[in-house]
A = this chain, B = another copy of it.
Amino acid sequence: MSKAKEADGGGAASRRIHGSIARKLGVAIVSGQHQPGDVLTNEIDASEQLQVSRSVYREAIRILAAKGLVESRPKTGTRVSARNRWQLLDPDVLAWFFESEPSEDFLRELYELRMIVEPAAAALAAQRRDDAQLERMRAALVVMQHATLASEAGRAADRDFHDTVLEATSNAPLFTLSSSIGAAVRWTTIFKQRHSELARDPMPDHWKVFDAIAAGRPDQAREAMERLVTLALEDTRASIDAPEDRV
């Protein structure tokens, strides 16, 4: 297993300069600092302000354009695209969203997606999982149980579990949603951690999902996952509604 040293959100993407510029601009856009329709300063000035070469700035813009965040045209300049063109399910875009605190609405929408996708995925996984995947799920849950969600290792194990369920569907397009699901899972935990008194043991729900998948029972797996997500959503909502009590 790898180091997981960085809290992600800019890990691989920002090792090179063009990546970090893309991240900086991306965060500025998804956080609303640059509204859709806004025109970015032109390449010459912008690269000068950022103290990078124009080539680097341009490559950063290409990255953002590839993710639907901006559109460039001669004379007009580069402008922020309408929100509905944004590739919200792209892992980087999602990471940028979570770099500045995401809005409650966005989080709810992500949960809604989870609620749609994960129960169905669990059902498919119950039909198609192979032994290795089953073993990975079990191992993840064991780690999660011992490490608990208070540790990064435990949270990673949680994500691993949900990830493996998606993988076990043998559906490649579906699996690409793992980053989105993973983001939702991560933030569930973060919000819950802020209100430790609300902490509910998540293991029973997880084991029920696992058992159903292991037993090859699609309907049971779907229901169990539905319950799991519902409860997680309730906890998260409660944490959001409750007054902040962190530092």
Contacts and interface: CB of A to CB of B under 8 A. Distances in A.
Interface in A76-130: 83-84, 86-92, 106, 109-110, 112-113, 116-117, 120-121, 124
A112 B172 contact: no
A66 interface: yes
A176 interface: yes
Nearest to A12: B71
16 contacts: A62-B63, A63-B66, A66-B67, A68-B91, A86-B172, A88-B172, A89-B173, A109-B171, A109-B174, A110-B173, A112-B124, A112-B169, A116-B116, A116-B117, A116-B121, A117-B117
Contacts of A180: 173
Interface residues of A, number: 39
A109 B62 contact: no
Interface string A16-56: 00100000000000000000000000000000000000010
- Determine the main DSSP class of A at the interface with B: helix
A175 B84 CA distance: 7
B55 A109 contact: no
